[in-house]
Structure 1
Amino acid sequence: MFDDRSDPTPKFLPPNAPIMVVGLRHAVFLTPDGEVEELPHGAAVKRARAQRPILVHTPASARRMKSDPFPAHDLLELFAFVRPAQFCVPTPRGLALATGQSPSEDLIGQAEALAEAMKRLLQELATLPREKRSRALSIAWPMARGQWMWGIPVLAALGGDGDGPHKFAVYEGLKIWKKLGEWAEHAPPPPPGNNPVDPKDARDRLKKLLGEGAEDRPQQADYASAVCSAFAPRTAEGTPNIVLAEAGTGTGKTLGYVAPASVWAEKNDGAVWISTYTRNLQRQIDQELDRLYDDPKDKRLKVVVRKGRENYFCLLNFEEAQRPLVQNPHQAIPLGLIARWAATTRDGDMVGGDFPAWLTELIGSRFTSALADQRGECIYAACPHYSRCFVEKTVRRARSAEIVVANHALVMVQAALGGLDDASMPTRYVFDEGHHLFDAADKAFSAHLTGQEGAELRRWLLGAENKGQSRARGLKQRLESLITDRDELRDAVNAVIVAAQCLPEQGWLMRIHDGAEHAKGPAETFLAHIRAQVMARASDGDRGYSIETDCKPAIDPVLASAADLDRALTALEKPAKALIKIIAHMLDEKADELESAERQRLDAAIRSLERRAIMQVAAWRAMLESLVDATPAEFVDWFAIERQFGRDFDIGMHRHHIDPTLPLTAALAPSAHGLVITSATLRDGTGDEMFDWAVAEDRTGASHMPMPAIRAAMKSPYDYAKQTRVFIINDLGRDNPDHVAAAYRELFLASGGGALGLFTAITRLRAVYERLSGPLDDAGLQLLAQHIDGMDVSTLIDIFRVERDACLLGTDAIRDGVDVPGDSLRLIVFDRVPWPRPDILHRARKAAFHGARYDDMLTRLRMKQAFGRLVRRADDRGVFVLLDNRMPSRLLGAFPDDVEVQRVGMREAIEQTRAFLHPKSPG
C-alpha cells in the first residue's frame, strides 16, 4: 500500500483547455480566460483535435460534427469519478441540472455552466472526508499513471502531490473487492401467513403513500380496493386468486397495487413480487417505493430489485481484467471509473440500475457489460469473491424482503425451473405491463436449434478454445477443484467435453456459407442443409431480410443430417445426465463430509447443467424427431436465416408454443396463491365488452387458470377530448420515402420539436433520418434516433426528456418504453398502421385465435400503447398523427372514446397541429 499523506492539501488545477459545446450548426469555445468564439463544425473539429477541449459526451459531440472521435476532457468521466452511481443526463443541460444549476438555452450559457460544473465537481473532491478522499486517491493514482485526461486536476483536488505509489502498489486501489462487505447466511424464513388484506386497510395505506394535500383520485382508491382480492387466502391447491385490472393512464396504478401489496407483506411476513416487462419500469417502481420506505436503510432491507445474473457486475471478471495493467497502464482509466462505481453501487446492477448507461459508449463494452456474467460461467462458492458477490447478496436479501421488483423474463425462468437459486417460489405476484405476458412467455418457453445457440452451449461446456482471446471458463474450469481427487467425476466431465465437440465451432457461419462440405461436425452440417432449404424456397424479394420457410416437407439432406445430429446430441445428453447423477450421489452419500461451500457448488452445478444442457438438448432432440414424425399440435416449427442489414447472423430451426400462456400457467398455478395482472391496455378495443375481456384473459393466461379471474377496469382521469388531437392523413403517398420524410419534417417543425417519430421498420426509420437531419438542424431542432445514435434506448429517452425541443425517432422499444411527462413530448407521428408481421408463427396463431380479429387485436394494442405515451399528466397536451390512409375504422377503438379522430390532408394536419400546440396569445 502507499502513504496517502497525513494532511494532503487540495488544489484547484483545471485543465488548460477551452470548454466546447457543440450546437446543431456550429460549436462554441470558451477559453480559460473567458474569451468566446463560435466556429462552424469543420473548423471546430480541427481546433478540438489540436486543443483537447473540455466537453460533454465526446462520441455524441463528434457524431454531431460528422467527425471521428478525438481526444478530449470529457466531463462525464469526471462526473462518473466524483459522483459514482448517480444519475446524469449526458448533455450540457443534463450536467448543469445534475450540478445544481439552471440550464441555459444558448450555447454560450451552456459553456459557462460547464465551467461551473467542472469547478463544483473538483471542489467536491477537495472537500471529501479524509477516508473517502483516501479511497478516491487510491483509484486516481493508477488512472493518472494511465494518462487519464483528468488525472492531474483530480490528483490536485485530492491533494495527491509527488510521484505517488510504486508502479506495482499503484494498482492496489483498484482491488475494491477487499473493501466490500460480506453477506451472511441466515436460516430460511418460514412460509408467509394467509391473512387477507381489507380494502379499507389498502385505502388507508394508499392515502399515507400519497401524503397530505395529494390530489384526490377516486379511481386510484377503487383500484387499490379491487386488487385486494388477489391477496386473499387460496381456497384450493393449484387455484390462485387472479385479478385482471385495467387502469387507464393517470390512474396511479403503481401506488394503487403497492398499497395492498405492502399491507399483505407486513401482515404475513412474506414477499410480494412485482414483475415488469421493461427495465425502465423496474427503475420507476423502485423510485416510487421511496414513498413507502423513506429511510434508505429501511428500504434496503425491505426492497430488492432482482434480475438475471447476466445483469450484475462480476468481481472475478473485474479481477481478471486487471491482470494486464502493468503492461497496459492506460487500461486503468476505464477500470478506475468502474472501480469507483462498484465501490458505491447499491446492488451491482449494470443494466438499468445505478450504472450510467452512457459510460459504456465512453469506455467500451469490454470494460463495462463484458464484466457481467453474461455467459453463465459463475463458479459460485469456488470464487474467491463469493462472500462479497453482488448477485449472492441480492439473492439473500430477496429471501427476507417485503417487496421484490423483478422482470417477466426472470419470473418465467424461475417458474419453469421451480426456483432459481433455491427451491423457493413466491406466492404473490403483481404483473405490471401485463399486456406483455404473452410475449414474455413466448420468449421464455421457446426453443431454438441455431448456430448461435449451439456455439453458446459449446463455449459454456468447453470454455475458450482460442486461449488469450477470451476469459470464458468451461465446465472443467468451473468444477476444477472438485474433480481433482475424484476420478469418477473427472471422467464424467471429460466425457461431456468430448461429446460437446459435435456443436458448432468458432467460425461456423463462414463455413456454412461455403456449403455443407466445409462444415465441421453434425450440427454445422445440419445448419448448412437448413440454409440450403430456406434459400431454395425464399422469394427473390426476401433476399435482403431475415427469411424463413416451413420445415416440411424437408429436403433429403436435412433429414439425413438431422438423424446424425440427433445421435450426436444423444451422445452428449447421456454423459451430462450421468454427471448430474454422480454429483447428486455425492451430495447424498457425503452429506456429513461436504463443507457448505462445496455443497453449494455441487448443487449449483446440477441446476446449471439441467438448465443449460439437459433441458436444451432434450428440446433440440424433440424438434429433430418432429422432422420425421408429426409436430405436436401445441407447437409450430420453422427454419430461418436471421439477418441484420442484409447480412446473416444466425441460422437454424425454431419451435414456439402456439399459446405460450399454457406453459406459463402450468408453471405458476401450483405455487402461486394470488396474481394481479395489470396494465393500461389489457383489453381489446372492439366495443364488444365480453370479447374484449376474453382477449385479456387469453393474452395473460387467465383463461387457463382453474379459478375465474376477477375483472376490474378504471377509466383514465384525463380529458382526452380537450388534451389531445388525432389526425389520420388521407393524401400522403406512404410508399414514397421523400413524401414521408417531408411529412415528418413539417409536422416536427409545426410542433417546434418535442416530437416522437415511430416506425414499423428500421429501414424506413433510417431513410427518413437521412432526409430529416439537415432540415431539423437548420431549424435548430436536435434529432435523436434509435439504431443510429450509438446510445442505448434508456439514454436516448433521458436526453429526449431533458432537451425540451428535441425530436426522437424509434421503433418498438421506444413505443413501449417512453415515459415523458410534460412538454418534452407533445407530438407523436406514426409512419403506418402497425400490422403484425405475416410470418409462420403469426400464421399459426392467427388460425388459433379468432382469425382476422387476431390481426386487428395486435394492431389496436400497438396503437393504444403508442397513443398512451402522449398524455402522462393532467396538464399535458399532445397531437397524434398517423401517416397512413389505409387505417380501417374498425381499429379506431385503439383511441379513447371521447377523442374525435379526424381524417385530414397533410396541410390541414400541419396547421391544426401548430394551432393546437401553440395557440396565439389573446390580443
Structure 2
Amino acid sequence: MRPARFCAPTPRGLARSLGLPVPETPAEQARLLPWAVQTLLDDLALTPAKHRPEVRALAHLMARGGWPWGSAVLQALGDGPPPPQAAQLRALAVWTALPEVPELAPEPPPGTTPISPREAQARLAQVLGPQAESRPQQAQYTGAVCAAFDPRHHPDTPQVVLAEAGTGVGKTLGYIAPASLWAERNEATVWISTYTRNLQRQLDTELDRLYPNPDDKNTHVVVRKGRENYLCLLNFEEAAARVAAVPSEAPALGLMARWILATRDGDMVGSDFPGWLADLLGREVTLGLADRRGECLFSACEHVHRCFIERTIRRARRARLVVANHALVMVQAALGGIDDDSRPGRFVFDEGHHLFDAADAAFAAHLSAVETAEARRWLLGAEESGRSRARGLARRAEGLVDPEGDAAALLSDALEAARALPGPGWAARLAGAQPKGAVEHFLIEVRRQVLARAPGVEGPHSLEAEARPAEPELLEAARAVAAALTDLVEPLKAYAGALARRLDSEADTLETSTRTRLDSMVRSLERRAIGPLAAWKAMADGLAKDVPAEFVEWLTLDRVDGREMDVGLHRHWVDPTQPFAQTLGRRAQGFLVTSATLRDGNTDSEAAWIAAEARVGLRHLPGSCVRAAVPSPFDYVNATRVLVVTDVPREDAAQVAAAFRVLFLAAGGGALGLFTAVARLRAVHARIAPLLEEAGLPLYAQHVDAMDIGTLIAIFRDEEDACLLGTDAVRDGVDVPGRSLRLIVFDRVPWPRPDLLHKARRATWGGSAYDDRLTRLRLKQAFGRLVRRADDRGVFVMLDNRMPTRLTSAFPAGVTVERVGLAEAVAIVRAHCLTLTARAPSLP
C-alpha cells in the first residue's frame, strides 16, 4: 500500500505517514502497529473496481509464493475464486501499463537575456510567500549570484560567481529564484548539481515551494543520476519470467511491481524507492534489477519507449531545472557531453567545496583488476552460469552490420582480444599466482611489488607503494599489457569507424531506430571501451619513464578486513580541476559555485579567496569571477558550545566508546557521532549499542545497519531521541533541524589521509598549511550540521586532545573553544540540552 510514498521505517514514521497520533513510549509504539496495519487494509478495501482484478491477481501470486500478508490482503480485497495462474503471472507485466516516451522535435537554442537582482529578489519573495520571515541575507545572496546568468562576453570565458553563504542564509532558494527565472525567460535549462544523492533528495524537496503543483513540477524539474540508479524494465521482465519456476520470488517482485506503477521516475537510490526494502527482500530482486554497466541494449531493447532512464534523459532536455550530482556532471564532462552530446550552458554547483573530489574521481584512470574485469564484462557479457544479465557487445550490436562483412570480423577480432583482460575467477588466480592473460600477469607483478615495498603488510588494511622505480618483471609485464591492449583497441576503433561510416553512407535510408542504435553504439564504444583502454595502454607504456608532472601514479592492493578486493596501477591529476576547467568550465556560458564552506577560517583575506578559487578550478579559466560572501544570521555564541575533551586517550578504544556513551546519554539522544575511520565506528557501536538501548535511545550506524545512508538520516531526523554514527557522508550537507540533532561528537581531528596521492598534492600546495586548510574546512562543515534554524541549540565535542589551537578558526567568530575533562563535558552537554524539552506523548 502507498508505494513510492516516503515513510521512515519506524513506528513514529508510520504514524506520520498515515496521519495517526505519533507514539512516544515503547508501549505506545507497540500499540500503534496493529492500528497502522488496519489503516492500510482499510485503504486497500477501497481499491477502485477497475483495478481490483489486477491487484487481486497479484496478491494471489504473492500469497502462493509464501507472502505472510497474503491472506489478510486478499480478505481486504474481497472473497472470490483465485484467477488462473496465467492471469496471476500477467499481473507482473506492469511495464505494459507504463506510458510511452514521446518523440519530440529538437529544442531551439536558448536565449541569453539576463535578469536583474531586483527581479530575482522578487521571484524569491514570491516563492517564500507573504508569511515568510524577513531574511535580508537571503535576498542579498540572491542578488549577488545573478551575475552567473549574464551573457558571456568572450569565447571560453564563462560568467562565474563564487559565493559563500553561511548556514541559515537559505542559499538553496536563494539560487533557485534567479535560476528558475532565467530558465523561464530564456526557454533554457539550468543544471543544479550537488554532491550526494541524499542532497539531491533534499534539493528536490525544496523545489516543491517553487512548484507546489506536482504536475507543474513534473514538467519543469527533473532529477538526473547515473544509469545504475534506475530500474531496468528488461531486467524486471526477465526476473518476472522466473516466477513460475521460482514462486518464492513472487512476494518481492509483486512489491516491486506495485512500486513500478507508482514511481515518479524509476530511481531506486535516494528517491521514492524505500531504501530499507532491499534488506528485507534481498538485493537481487530489488536493487539488483537496476541498470548495470554492460547490460543496456539501448534502442534495441523492446522497452526503450517506456524506459525510465530514457524518459528522464528526454525530460531533462526540456526541463527548466535539472537536479544532478557532481559525479554525473563530472563524468559527462570527461566524456564530452550529457548522454546525447547535448551541452547545457548554465550550472549551479551547490556544495561546491566538493568539486575537487568529484573531478578527482571522474578524471582518474585505474589499470586495476576490477576496472579491467568490468571492461571485459562490458565487451563479452556474462561468461559464467547464474543470473548475470550482462549481455555483451555482440548482443547489443546485433543487426547493425552485415554478419558476414568486414565490420563483423573486426568485432570478432576485438572480442577475442578482450580475453587478455581478467575473466571470472581472477581474484583466486591472482592470489594463487596462476594468471590467465597479459593483464592478470601484470597485476600479479603489481601485487608482488606492493607487498615487497609497502609498510604494514601484516595488517588487514589496504596497501600502496610507489610505482617507480618499477621492478624489471613489472616492466616486462607492462610491455605485454600495452601490446595486448593495442590488439584490442585497434579493431574496436575500426569497428566504431565502420558504424560511423554507415551513418553517413546510408543517411537517406536508415530507419530512425537503427540510426539511434548506431549513434549510441559509436558513442558507447568510445566512452566505455576505446577511451579507457587507450588510457590504460598509455599508463602501461609509460611505466618505464618518469610520470608527467601533472599526474601522480602509484600501486595499490585494496583490502577489506584483510580480504584482497582489488590490485592495480592508478593515475590521478595532481590538480583534477584542471581538466574540469578545460572541458565543462570553458564550454559553459556561466556557472555559480556556492557552499557554506568555501573559504578557510573566518578571514575575508585575499589569500582565503585565492585558495578557494584554486580549490574549485577557477584559476584555470580566463577572466575573473564575482566573489560574494553572506554571513550566517545565527547567534552561534549563545546557541552553541564547542568542547575539546582533554582526558580521553584517543588510542584507548574502551575509553573512547565510554565517552561516546556518557555524552549521548547526557544529551538524551539527538546525537551524531562522526568518525574518521569505519573500523573505529564499528568498534564504538559494538560497545555502546546495548547500553543505549537499555536507556531507551535508538542507535543507528552507517556501515553497520543494512540501510542506505538516506534512510538512516531520515530515521534520525524523524526519531528525536535517536543517535546516529557515521563518516563523511553524514558530516557534509545533512540537514537535520530542530531537536533531533543537539549534540555532535567527533572521534578525532579529521586530518587528510596521508597516502601517496595526498603526499603529491601536499608538496604542490603548501605542505602542512595545506593539511591545516583542508582540516579546518572539514571541521567547519561538520559544525554546520549543528544549527540549521534560528531556535536550534547544540554542543560540538571533539574527543581528540591533540587538536591544535590553529584549527579553532574553523568555528564561527566569537565561539570559544573550551578544553575540558570528560566529566565537565558531560555536565555541559546535560545542562545545554535540558533547554530542549521533549514533546508530550500524543497517543492515547
Structure 2 counterpart of 1:633, from 549, 563, 570: 549
Shift of 1:139: 2.2
Structure 1 counterpart of 2:760, from 818, 825, 844: 844
Q: What residue number does 1:758 align with?
A: 674
State which drifts further: 270-279 or 462-471: 462-471
Tell me the alpha carbon deviations over residues 655-687 of structure 1, each in whole angstroms, 9 at most, x when there is no partner. Answer: 000000000000113421111000010111163
2:647 maps to a residue whose letter is: D
Tell me the alpha carbon deviations over residues 8-60 of structure 1, each in whole angstroms, 9 at most, x when there is no partner. Answer: xxxxxxxxxxxxxxxxxxxxxxxxxxxxxxxxxxxxxxxxxxxxxxxxxxxxx
Q: What residue number does 2:832 align with?
A: 916
Are the counterparts in 1 of residues 602 and 813 from structure 2 also a CA contact under 8 Å? no
Q: Distance in 2 between matches of 1:138 and 1:301?
A: 34
Q: What residue number does 1:439 align with?
A: 357
1:397 maps to a residue whose letter is: R
Are the counterparts in 1 of residues 226 and 328 from structure 2 also a CA contact under 8 Å? yes
2:16 maps to a residue whose letter is: L
1:410 maps to a residue whose letter is: L
2:655 maps to a residue whose letter is: H
Shift of 1:486: 5.4
Are 2:441 and 1:559 aligned? no
1:472 maps to a residue whose letter is: A
Q: What residue number does 1:550 align with?
A: 466
Are the counterparts in 2 of residues 138 and 174 from structure 1 also a CA contact under 8 Å? no
Please give the secondary structure, in 2, of the residue aligned with 1:638: strand
Q: What residue number does 1:87 align with?
A: 6
Q: What residue number does 2:71 align with?
A: 152
Q: What residue number does 2:498 align with?
A: 582
Q: What residue number does 1:68 align with?
A: none
1:796 maps to a residue whose letter is: L
Q: What residue number does 1:76 align with?
A: none
Q: What residue number does 2:725 align with?
A: 809
Report matched runs for 1:166-177 at 5 Å: 166-177=84-95
Please give the secondary structure, in 1, of the residue aligned with 2:157: coil
Cα distance 1:560–1:300, how it changes in 2: closer, same or farther (>3 A)?
Answer: same
1:283 maps to a residue whose letter is: R
Q: Distance in 1 between matches of 2:444 and 2:836?
A: 65
Q: What residue number does 1:730 align with?
A: 646
Q: Distance in 1 between matches of 2:366 and 2:418?
A: 17
* TM-score normalised by the chain length of structure 1: 0.89
Are the counterparts in 1 of residues 384 and 424 from structure 2 also a CA contact under 8 Å? no
Structure 2 counterpart of 1:231, from 124, 149, 166: 149
State which drifts further: 820-829 or 786-795: 786-795
Q: What residue number does 1:14 align with?
A: none
Cα distance 1:860–1:312, how it changes in 2: closer, same or farther (>3 A)?
Answer: same
Q: What residue number does 1:74 align with?
A: none
Please give the secondary structure, in 1, of the residue aligned with 2:7: coil
Structure 2 counterpart of 1:107, from 9, 13, 26: 26
Q: What residue number does 2:779 align with?
A: 863
Please give the secondary structure, in 2, of the residue aligned with 1:632: coil
1:390 maps to a residue whose letter is: F
Tell me the alpha carbon deviations over residues 751-795 of structure 1, each in whole angstroms, 9 at most, x when there is no partner. Answer: 111111111111111221222123212222111111111211111
Are the counterparts in 1 of residues 294 and 392 from structure 2 also a CA contact under 8 Å? no
Are 2:316 and 1:406 aligned? no
1:671 maps to a residue whose letter is: R
Q: What residue number does 1:289 align with?
A: 207
Are 2:696 and 1:777 aligned? no
Shift of 1:399: 1.0
Q: What residue number does 2:180 align with?
A: 262
Are 2:350 and 1:451 aligned? no
Are the counterparts in 1 of residues 456 and 463 from structure 2 also a CA contact under 8 Å? no
Q: Distance in 1 between matches of 2:674 and 2:109?
A: 47
Tell me: higher relative CO, structure 1 or 2? Use CA pairs within 8 A at least 6 residues apart: 2
Tell me the alpha carbon deviations over residues 145-203 of structure 1, each in whole angstroms, 9 at most, x when there is no partner. Answer: 212111111122122522x2222232101101111110111111111111001111100
Q: Distance in 1 between matches of 2:637 and 2:264?
A: 44
Q: Distance in 1 between matches of 2:200 and 2:57?
A: 34
Are the counterparts in 1 of residues 276 and 706 from structure 2 also a CA contact under 8 Å? no
Are the counterparts in 2 of residues 686 and 890 from structure 1 also a CA contact under 8 Å? no
Q: Distance in 1 between matches of 2:313 and 2:450?
A: 44
Q: Distance in 2 between matches of 1:433 and 1:532?
A: 40
Q: What residue number does 2:841 align with?
A: none
Shift of 1:421: 2.5
Root mean square deviation of aligned Cα = 1.4
Report matched runs for 1:129-148 at 5 Å: 129-148=48-67
Q: Distance in 2 between matches of 1:270 and 1:555?
A: 55
Tell me the alpha carbon deviations over residues 732-766 of structure 1, each in whole angstroms, 9 at most, x when there is no partner. Answer: 21111111111111111111111111111111112
State which drifts further: 432-441 or 414-423: 414-423
1:118 maps to a residue whose letter is: V
Q: Distance in 2 between matches of 1:284 and 1:406?
A: 12
Unmatched 5+ residue regions in structure 1?
1-81
State which drifts further: 651-660 or 762-771: 762-771
Q: Distance in 2 between matches of 1:698 and 1:786?
A: 32
* TM-score normalised by the chain length of structure 2: 0.98
Q: What residue number does 2:112 align with?
A: 194
Q: What residue number does 1:384 align with?
A: 302
Are 2:256 and 1:338 aligned? yes
Report matched runs for 1:48-63 at 5 Å: none
Are the counterparts in 1 of residues 294 and 379 from structure 2 also a CA contact under 8 Å? no
Are the counterparts in 1 of residues 586 and 621 from structure 2 also a CA contact under 8 Å? no
Q: What residue number does 2:429 align with?
A: 511
State which drifts further: 364-373 or 482-491: 482-491
Shift of 1:489: 2.7
Q: What residue number does 1:474 align with?
A: 392
1:828 maps to a residue whose letter is: I
Report matched runs for 1:704-743 at 5 Å: 704-743=620-659
Are the counterparts in 2 of residues 819 and 869 from structure 1 also a CA contact under 8 Å? yes
Please give the secondary structure, in 1, of the residue aligned with 2:367: strand
Structure 1 counterpart of 2:237, from 288, 294, 319: 319
Tell me the alpha carbon deviations over residues 448-476 of structure 1, each in whole angstroms, 9 at most, x when there is no partner. Answer: 01000011000110011113342211001
Q: What residue number does 1:65 align with?
A: none
Are the counterparts in 1 of residues 457 and 463 from structure 2 also a CA contact under 8 Å? no
Q: How many residues align?
A: 837
Shift of 1:539: 1.8
Please give the secondary structure, in 2, of the residue aligned with 1:493: helix
Q: Distance in 1 between matches of 2:836 and 2:232?
A: 57
Q: Distance in 1 between matches of 2:90 and 2:234?
A: 15
Please give the secondary structure, in 2, of the residue aligned with 1:480: coil
State which drifts further: 479-488 or 338-347: 479-488
Structure 2 counterpart of 1:595, from 511, 526, 535: 511
Tell me the alpha carbon deviations over residues 637-667 of structure 1, each in whole angstroms, 9 at most, x when there is no partner. Answer: 0000011112110000000000000000001
Tell me the alpha carbon deviations over residues 98-129 of structure 1, each in whole angstroms, 9 at most, x when there is no partner. Answer: 11112212222112211111111011111122
Are 2:415 and 1:490 aligned? no
Q: Distance in 2 between matches of 1:131 and 1:814?
A: 45
Q: What residue number does 1:39 align with?
A: none
Are 2:719 and 1:818 aligned? no
Q: What residue number does 1:27 align with?
A: none
Tell me the alpha carbon deviations over residues 508-561 of structure 1, each in whole angstroms, 9 at most, x when there is no partner. Answer: 11111112xx11111000000100000001223663211100001111110010
Please give the secondary structure, in 1, of the residue aligned with 2:740: coil
Q: What residue number does 1:700 align with?
A: 616
Q: What residue number does 1:243 align with?
A: 161
Please give the secondary structure, in 1, of the residue aligned with 2:348: strand
Q: Distance in 2 between matches of 1:528 and 1:541?
A: 16
Tell me the alpha carbon deviations over residues 587-636 of structure 1, each in whole angstroms, 9 at most, x when there is no partner. Answer: 11111121101111111111111011111011111111221122111000
Are 2:193 and 1:271 aligned? no
